[in-house]
A and B are shown apart, each in its own frame.
Chain A
Amino acid sequence: MVFIFISLHVKFIMIVMLVAKPRLMLGNEAIAYGALASGVAVAAGYPGTPSTEIIETLMRFKDVYTEWSSNEKVAFETGFGAAMMGARALVTMKHVGMNVASDSLMSSSYTGVSGALVVVSAGDPGMWSSQSEQDTRYYGLMGMIPVFEPFNPQSAHDLTVEAFNLSSQVGHPVIISTNTRISHVRSQVNVLPKGEPVYGRLQKNPGKYSLVPEVSRKDREEQLNRWEKIKSLTSHLVESRGDGDVAVVGAGISYSYVLEALRNLEVEKVRVVGVSCSVPLPEKILDYLTDVERILVIEELDPIVENQLKSMLLDHGLRVKVEGKKLTGYMGEMTLERVLKAVATFLNIGIDPIVDSPTVPEDVPRRPPAMCPGCPHRSSFFFLKKGLALGGISSTFYSGDIGCYSLGVLPPFNEQDSLISMGSSLGIANGVYRSTHVIPVAVIGDSTFFHTGLPALANAVYNKFPVLVIVLDNRSTAMTGQQGSPSTVIDIASAAKGLGVEYVEVGDPFSPAFSRIVARASEWVKKNLAPAVVVAKRACALEVLDRVKPTQVAVVDYDKCTGCTICYDHFTCPAILKRTDKKAVINPEDCIGCGACVPVCPFNAIRLEGDKPAGWDEAWTS
């Protein structure tokens, strides 16, 4: 009996330990677990680095409704609609996705919500994978929406729970502003147990949600009242450590850097203040700052906390010198050395030798990302150029768009003359044509086509815009890790025809016939001065490799290879290398046996060796 009792007791302790043991996870997973603990029922997003893994994590939980929406605005409205019905909803996107969602986002701050609505915007300071590093927190200031800013994966989890609490308590949307070094950092996180999802029930309140002028004016007043309530409910999201005559304030991830920098510098007598609600900056911060002589604010990107603090001090008649962006600069990710330099200058002390780092030699060859072996975009760009020449469009403007095919900006292709924002290819091309009368080529991917390409294509038909539209349909949202795409359900050629495009043709970019399709479409556009759509349909190679493992490989016939350089200098598949005698050699470790290079060789010197596995060809076209 005693033995059994002990073993049960030990088991119990072990269970407790299992539950309580922190787990190593990405910041994005921590946000997902925070949402699960808060009873999230509906979660929608559009994939975008570094936000993608939040929805991917939630998709493992079948009692939560999750979807990849066609764009961020639809995702936001999905969450907003659910929160109107009283549900707890999460919406995720990258920082620039907020621009797409912003129209409805601004309205949501007027109407408020009946359940809870939390929007995660994942920023990309340093622009690892984005067109800009815009500061999301301006949306909070602009729309009167609180912005929570985590400082590590654990705080990302905890602040997500706080965000759901605040949102449901006040009935107002809440933004979580994360970034690459929170979302894509793996660290120990203690997660709260999953809660029961809170779904909604049908409820109507047009006096709140139908924003005709009369309602808007009433909602505006209520929004301002809620804003005061939010200010009082977020006062605990600022903390202070240490004591001294000077203070260093760190917002979000900068707080982590400040803590470590002060430890490295071994300075004492500095008050450290951590801010995890950047908008509205809690007035409680003044409790920690009224008796200091000088303040340094450290935050990533723009002076959001710094400017609010300056205004707050002025309001209270306090004359304290505040420094910030002047010492840290605006651009790029916060780093320990940036903080060390700023703090050392602020405190007027010598800089730790750690900052004295070796410099990278200037002649290290750059290594930008490359299209994968077997990527259909490489073949599309290769045959597009040939096809345009055949079709008599020798000089054109390649209006590009956002996806893996953005890499077409690189040599040898140089087929992305501008690349602005999701779905911008057609609109920009229209302006190019209207101002120059040069027929442009718009290059857009399948997921981007459905994201924001459709209204621009409708405009092209409506305004009779002579453009050759190349839709690169690789059957997935590939750039962010092969999430699905509407193209697997909706046929792009049919969609284009439905919008009234008269000339639509579908081709296989691996085939030289693709250049003849491009040539025919080019001639049609020149003759009819209206839009034509060519769909380059072939699956993402990574998607194919997930389904079928190749058993064949491309090899070079050295009796035929002349060393003409076309395959490695003009096609640039990473698997094809240049030998010292200038002939090509194919690295069997990198080659996936796709055969895309076979028709590229003018001397028929490349062939596939070995039999293709069953289902290989189908995987590329399904």
Chain B
Amino acid sequence: MDKLSVLIAGIGGQGVVTAGRIIAEAFGNKGYRVFEAETHGLSQRGGAVNVHVRIGNVEAPLIPRGGADIMIALEATEALRNIEYLSKSGEIFLNASVKPPSLPKVQEHDAEQVIGRLKDWKVYVLDCNKITGNAGKCNTALLGIVYQARFSEYLEEEDFLSLLRDQNNRNSFLAGVRYWERVKEQRLVVQK
């Protein structure tokens, strides 16, 4: 691997920063050079949040627009909001749920509309609740999927599990790993 850029998009409180930190630590502990740029402070409370993770032969902390290889979206509209970061050959691991912003009289959106507008990219449409049986953590479930799909050639399962503190997170991660194994890549791709 020369370099790998992963953008995680979601809403403050969904574990966006935690997911970014875990990817950075897993690769960092294996000796890869990593930069992980977080968003703290006011901007995290229920607002749109993204985390940039850059691995390998890189110097700068932020992914350039059009430069992300992988986007992990914990909420569908956040994928759209951050689409400028994704490269033309980039792929999206998308939790297909929509959460309205906490503002009065908001326009209703549904996940299918959003996914329809991502037709230029390879999108893996996922349902966290289905994967974890409504019991787990979406951020770690998606980590399990992306690990199995894209990181397993560089890292071991244990590199992630050792960073996940409670059993619920470990179970969610493993549910993601098993889910990816079970459904096979092709059946999930809905576009491109």
Cβ-neighbour of B45 out of A256, A336, A361, A371 (below 8 A) = A371
Cβ-neighbour of A260 out of B29, B44, B58, B102 (below 8 A) = B58
Give Cα A190–Cα B137 distance, bound, in whole angstroms: 33
A180-198, CB < 8 A from B? 180-181, 184-188
A185 and B37 within 8 A (CB): yes
Query: Please, what's the 1-or-0 string for B40-81, where 1 marks a CB less than 8 Å from any CB in chain A?
Result: 111111111000000001111111111100000000011011
Tell me which residues across on chain B come within 8 A of A337, comparing CB atoms: 64-66
Give Cα A288–Cα B13 distance, bound, in whole angstroms: 48
A340 and B101 within 8 A (CB): no
Interface 9-mer from A162-170, A550-558, A567-575, A596-604: A567-575
B103 and A410 within 8 A (CB): yes
Tell me which residues across on chain B come within 8 A of A360, comparing CB atoms: 80-84
B46 and A361 within 8 A (CB): no
A126-172, CB < 8 A from B? 128-129, 152
A206 at the interface (CB under 8 A from B): no
B61 and A185 within 8 A (CB): yes
- What is the predominant secondary structure among interface residues of chain A facing chain B? loop
**Given A185-B38, A359-B84, A360-B83, A366-B64 contact (CB < 8 Å):** no
B107 at the interface (CB under 8 A from A): yes
Give Cα A181–Cα B54 distance, bound, in whole angstroms: 13
Cβ-neighbour of B77 out of A49, A340, A365 (below 8 A) = A365
Tell me which residues across on chain A come within 8 A of B35, comparing CB atoms: 152, 185-187
Tell me which residues across on chain B come within 8 A of A19, comparing CB atoms: none
A186 and B66 within 8 A (CB): no
Tell me which residues across on chain A come within 8 A of B103, comparing CB atoms: 366, 368, 370, 410-411, 572
Give Cα A243–Cα B29 distance, bound, in whole angstroms: 35
**Given A24-B25, A337-B65, A367-B11, A49-B40 contact (CB < 8 Å):** yes
Give Cα A615–Cα B165 distance, bound, in whole angstroms: 27
Give Cα A411–Cα B85 distance, bound, in whole angstroms: 30
Query: Please, what's the 1-or-0 string for A570-582, where 1 marks a CB less than 8 Å from any CB in chain B?
Result: 1011100110000
Q: Number of B interface residues, CB 8 Å?
A: 56
Tell me which residues across on chain A come within 8 A of B28, comparing CB atoms: 24, 187-188
Cβ-neighbour of B34 out of A24, A26, A256, A358 (below 8 A) = A24
**Given A188-B33, A256-B60, A574-B38 contact (CB < 8 Å):** no
Give Cα A367–Cα B34 distance, bound, in whole angstroms: 29
Tell me which residues across on chain A come within 8 A of B25, comparing CB atoms: 24
Cβ-neighbour of B59 out of A257, A412, A570 (below 8 A) = A257
B105 at the interface (CB under 8 A from A): yes
A511 at the interface (CB under 8 A from B): no
User: Shortest distance in angstroms between A381's beta carbon and chain B's nearest beta carbon?
Assistant: 13
B87 at the interface (CB under 8 A from A): yes
- What is the predominant secondary structure among interface residues of chain B facing chain A? loop
Of chain A, the residue at the smallest CB distance from B57 is A263
- Residue of B38, B46, B67, B78 ringed by the most chain A CB atoms within 10 A: B46
B45 and A335 within 8 A (CB): no
**Given A336-B67, A357-B85, A364-B81, A569-B39 contact (CB < 8 Å):** no
Give Cα A572–Cα B100 distance, bound, in whole angstroms: 11
Query: Please, what's the 1-or-0 string for A345-365, where 1 marks a CB less than 8 Å from any CB in chain B?
Result: 000000001111111110011
B41 and A128 within 8 A (CB): yes
Tell me which residues across on chain A come within 8 A of B47, comparing CB atoms: 367-370
User: Shortest distance in angstroms between B36's beta carbon and chain A's nearest beta carbon?
Assistant: 4
**Given A24-B28, A184-B37, A369-B12, A259-B59 contact (CB < 8 Å):** yes
A357 and B84 within 8 A (CB): yes
Give Cα A357–Cα B89 distance, bound, in whole angstroms: 12
Tell me which residues across on chain B come within 8 A of A354, comparing CB atoms: 64, 66-67, 87
Tell me which residues across on chain B come within 8 A of A50, comparing CB atoms: 40-41
User: Shortest distance in angstroms between B152's beta carbon and chain A's nearest beta carbon?
Assistant: 21
Cβ-neighbour of B46 out of A180, A260, A353, A574 (below 8 A) = A574
User: Shortest distance in angstroms between B126's beta carbon and chain A's nearest beta carbon?
Assistant: 18
B130 at the interface (CB under 8 A from A): no
Of chain B, the residue at the smallest CB distance from A254 is B60
B38 and A366 within 8 A (CB): no
A355 and B64 within 8 A (CB): yes
Give Cα A410–Cα B80 distance, bound, in whole angstroms: 23
- Residue of A185, A569, A574 ringed by the most chain B CB atoms within 10 A: A185
B24 at the interface (CB under 8 A from A): yes
**Given A260-B58, A355-B66, A360-B80, A49-B104 contact (CB < 8 Å):** no
B123 at the interface (CB under 8 A from A): no
Q: Which residues of B contact A (CB under 8 A)?
A: 11-12, 21, 24-25, 28-29, 33-48, 57-67, 77-78, 80-88, 100-107, 109, 117, 120
Q: What 4 A-B pairs have minimum CB-CB distances, sorted nearest first? A: A357-B66, A49-B41, A369-B47, A370-B46
Q: Which residues of A contact B (CB under 8 A)?
A: 24, 26, 49-50, 52, 128-129, 152, 180-181, 184-188, 253, 256-257, 259-260, 263, 333, 335-337, 340, 353-361, 364-372, 404, 406-407, 410-412, 479-481, 568-570, 572-574, 577-578
12 sample A-B contacts, Cβ–Cβ < 8 Å, listed by A number: A24-B29, A52-B40, A181-B62, A187-B35, A335-B64, A337-B65, A357-B64, A360-B84, A365-B101, A365-B109, A367-B46, A368-B103
